[in-house]
Amino acid sequence: MDLATGKLIEAAIMVVWIILILGIGVWSRSKVKGSGEFMVGGRTIPVWMLGMWSAGASVSAWAFFGLPGGIYASGAWQHWAICTPMIIGFPITILFLGRWMRVSAKKYNLMTMPDFLGEVYGGKWIRVFAAIGILIACVFYSTAQFKAIGVLFGALFNLPYVAAAALGIAISAVYILLGGFVAGAIINTLNVSMMIVASLLAVGIGYSWTGGYSNMMSTIANYVYPGGGAAPMGLMNGAAWLNQDYALTGAAAGGAWGFWISWCVLLSSFGLVGQAAIVQKLYGVKKPNSLWLWGLLGGVVFGLTCPAYCYLGEVTKYLAVLPGSTVASEIINLGLGADGVIAWLTVNKLGVESPVLGGLLIAGVLGAAWSTIDGFLMMGGAAIARDIVNKCFRPNWTDKQLLRNLRISMLIVGAVIVIETMFPADLITWLAAIGWAQFAATLAPALLLATTWKGVTKAGGTAGVFVGLVVAAVMTLVWRLPPSSTPFGLGTGGFMKTFYLDAGAWGMILGFITIVVVSLATKKERGPLYYDIHKDVPKPQ
């Protein structure tokens, strides 16, 4: 089949998928009667739906799009070093946080993570600082999703990058603005189902092309770049590509151990507790006693889908090193860097060989992106309208005013992300990592200590959230961005060499320390939810 016909078939599959999604959004509008239905679905959503949505939000475009490209370009170590720790993040979240979030949700009308922090620690400033951290993280993480959509839609529909990304933003904005949490739960159950189908197809396709995992790895291991000088992207020697210590030394400029501590120990596992777009979905669970199923489903779905698409990065590396292969040059000619791997695989290769499979794989990638985007639009809008303005400065808003302003704020967040999307970075994985790390640094220390340590205080929690927010944001904006973007920018590799740990890891560590030190030194003021969690601590008279 020629490429034009194949792309037409793939595009038709996506058009049907988009029409289905938008139809559900329109139907769900009738279910939204107030801010409670809009933000948490009236707390009536089955846990299995929210478990699938949360897993999809954790996978997102970084794993289905960015990570295969990163694996293809720099090494197989990312297949398990980044994915695996996140699997345990789901049960960790339920163990330390989930029960108290859901059980207390109705009593305190909790809808956001700043809500929970405000009721545990007390005071408005912890809400404000948490909301600011959420907004910063949203911009980076959401941009990664829209960049994936822009690249794929652009390749599939022959659209310019910005127009293609804007189309993806419009689709997600329409259904989530209309149907809110209910639309998100239904649509993302379908999206994640498609992700699972696509992941199974990915494994089957990879096996058929490579003849099995062992054959693929042995072929790659024996590859030696025949040209002189530095190898083009994807053609580094197989022995170096398979050597995780070598790969990390090259990528992180000597900071391999720092990478393991930052991501495997802190950000990917315990840091999942701070991923508001994932964890806030617990507020919508219908039956609190079913929370364990959320943790199980999240880990299982993530553990199935993320490694499967990572596998495609290894498969593409195999195809690139075969004798006489032109795969590497074809990917380079797309002009998308490592992010061109999935675009080439689904549109250019499968568009000719099997466009139906290509269309399903594309739907899986876009489903992963949309399952994250809608949550970020809701969360970013809520951070402005509810967490900062309504809760801290305009408490007399009616529910109708809050719902209207939530939608307006979501549009504002979407507009900011559109602007950011016009200036894409080189790697989707890199953008998503910054967003994930900012969430973890801002929220995770205060959330974890809220339920595990009786000694927390209002001043300690507020200071800890502020320190985590500022440390991660400043270190990222000043040093971790590429040198051309900031006065002292070092890029990721230079940053790790200079500071040893990721910016988000420093934020988490210093946030924990700040909460403990300030709490020990300040008056034992707390919010009402603190005394529900720690029942043996007497309430002040």
- The three-state secondary structure class of 285 is strand
pLDDT surpasses 50 at 424: yes
Instruction: Work out the pLDDT band at 525, boundaries 50, 70, 90.
Output: very high
Query: What pLDDT sits at residue 521?
Result: 97
Residue whose C-alpha is closest to residue 42's, from 190, 179, 189: 179
How far is the C-alpha of 28 from the C-alpha of 390, rounded, in Å? 25
How far is the C-alpha of 368 from the C-alpha of 185, rounded, in Å? 13
Contacts of 461 (CB under 8 A, 6+ apart): 117, 120, 121, 126, 446, 449, 450, 515, 519
Contacts of 274 (CB under 8 A, 6+ apart): 113, 439, 440, 441, 442, 443, 444, 447
- Which is more confident, 215 or 66? 215
Instruction: Work out the pLDDT band at 338, boundaries 50, 70, 90.
Output: confident
* For range 362-372, the mean pLDDT: 79
Q: Among 301-315, 422-436, 520-534, name the most confident range.
A: 520-534
* pLDDT > 90: percent of the chain: 29
Q: Are the C-beta atoms of 380 and 344 separated by less than 8 Å?
A: no
Q: What are phi and psi of 285, to 5 degrees?
A: -65, 135
| pTM beyond cutoff 0.75 | yes
Q: What are phi and psi of 45, to 5 degrees?
A: -90, 135
- Which is more confident, 28 or 529? 529
Query: What pLDDT sits at residue 115?
Result: 93
Instruction: Work out the pLDDT band at 1, boundaries 50, 70, 90.
Output: low
Instruction: Give tens-digit pLDDT for 236-256.
Output: 888 888 876 545 544 444 456
Instruction: Work out the pLDDT band at 397, boundaries 50, 70, 90.
Output: very high
Q: Among 120-129, 201-210, 243-252, 329-338, name the most confident range.
A: 120-129
Residue range 3-426 in CATH 1.10.1200.10:
no
Buried b (16+ CB within 10 A) or exposed e, 493-519: ebbbbebbbbbbbbbbbbbbebbbebb
How far is the C-alpha of 77 from the C-alpha of 246, rounded, in Å? 10
pLDDT surpasses 90 at 474: yes
Query: What pLDDT sits at residue 440?
Result: 96
Query: What pLDDT sits at residue 426?
Result: 54
How far is the C-alpha of 455 from the C-alpha of 524, rounded, in Å? 8
Q: Are the C-beta atoms of 275 and 440 separated by less than 8 Å?
A: yes
How far is the C-alpha of 184 from the C-alpha of 179, rounded, in Å? 7
How far is the C-alpha of 161 from the C-alpha of 335, rounded, in Å? 12
Query: What pLDDT sits at residue 252?
Result: 45
pLDDT surpasses 90 at 118: yes
Q: How would you write 15-84 as a 3-class SS string?
A: HHHHHHHHHHHHHHHHHCCCHHHHHHHHHCECHHHHHHHHHHHHHHHHHHHHHHHHHHHHCCCHHHHCHH
How far is the C-alpha of 147 from the C-alpha of 420, rounded, in Å? 10
Query: What pLDDT sits at residue 423?
Result: 60
Residue pointed to by tokens 């910016």: 503
Q: Lowest-pLDDT range, 183-192, 220-229, 477-486, 524-533?
A: 477-486
Q: What is the DSSP string of 225-263?
A: --SSSSPPTT-S-HHHHH-HHHHHHHHHTT-HHHHIIII
What is the residue-averaged pLDDT of the chain?
85
User: Structural domain boundaries of the chain?
Assistant: 3-426
- Which is more confident, 173 or 273? 273
Query: What pLDDT sits at residue 224?
Result: 92
- Which is more confident, 404 or 252? 404
Residue whose C-alpha is closest to residue 82's, from 312, 275, 267, 313: 267
Q: How many CB atoms lie within 10 A of CB 283?
A: 26
* For range 88-116, the mean pLDDT: 90
Which DSSP helix (H) or strand (E) runs through 86?
helix 83-93
Q: Among 489-498, 499-508, 514-523, name the most confident range.
A: 514-523
Q: Are the C-beta atoms of 100 and 439 separated by less than 8 Å?
A: no
Q: Among 59-63, 278-282, 506-510, name the most confident range.
A: 506-510
Amino acid identity for residue 115 in this structure: D
Residue whose C-alpha is closest to residue 21's, from 153, 178, 147, 148: 178
pLDDT surpasses 90 at 37: no
* For range 29-44, the mean pLDDT: 79
Instruction: Work out the pLDDT band at 343, boundaries 50, 70, 90.
Output: confident
How far is the C-alpha of 515 from the C-alpha of 447, rounded, in Å? 11
* For range 142-161, the mean pLDDT: 81
Instruction: Work out the pLDDT band at 145, boundaries 50, 70, 90.
Output: confident
How far is the C-alpha of 129 from the C-alpha of 387, rounded, in Å? 10
Q: Lowest-pLDDT range, 160-164, 321-325, 399-403, 428-432?
A: 428-432
- Which is more confident, 472 or 379? 472
